[in-house]
Amino acid sequence: MGVSDKIHFVSFPKSDIMITMATTKVLIGSENRVKIESARQSFSKFFNPLDIHKLRVDSGVSAQPINEEVFTGAKNRAEHAKRINDEQLLNANFFVGIEGGILQLHKRWFQFTVIYILDSQHRDSFSTTGLYELPNWIVEKLLTGIELSDIIDELAKDTNTKEKQSASGFLTNGEVDRRQNYTQAITFALIPFLQDNLYFQKE
């Protein structure tokens, strides 16, 4: 995305949870509507009024990230959003990267999503969603580069499930969808910024 490219702007009303004098601006390195809504729900608990900007950015990792790649992809998305902010003088306060992938632990494979938040002061934070185990036959496909969302589309006999229930929703029979998963993880990633005296002490 170049300097001259336009971003999409979404404005959300004030919440009764907390009112701040200045508008908090958040750039999200994605155009996925579930990610946008999850970020809105998380940030609006603590920052109001709130403006969310969605950006198409490159994660810089493979389409189906594995292990450390997932963290790298989330960080790349947020940093790319900040570069656009600096180039276009958008004066945003936070930059969010969200990247899903698979992780191997204890000789098993799990699906999870990494959240990375960077702020205008160059402070940052990681968090993740919960892990859930994937069947071996699905993992074998993922390791060849096939995306999990494509497999879930086929299993659910649906299209674009990554912007609907996603794998977590399908595998839990609709009990834990992607939005719920992301909202909690983004809230966790905000903890250091909410408790900055604990996390960002000057040395």
pLDDT tens, 98-125?
A: 999 999 999 999 999 999 999 999 999 9
Q: Identify whether the C-beta of residue 67 lies closer than 8 Å to the C-beta of residue 104.
A: yes
Overall CATH class of domain 8-133+176-199: alpha beta
pLDDT tens-digit series, residues 9-34? 554 444 444 545 699 999 999 999 99
What is the DSSP secondary structure assignment for residue 66, as one 8-state letter? B
What pTM did the predictor assign? 0.86
Give CA separation, 124 vs 45, 87, 171, in Å.
19, 20, 32
Instruction: Quick: pLDDT tens for 171-187.
Output: 999 898 889 999 999 99
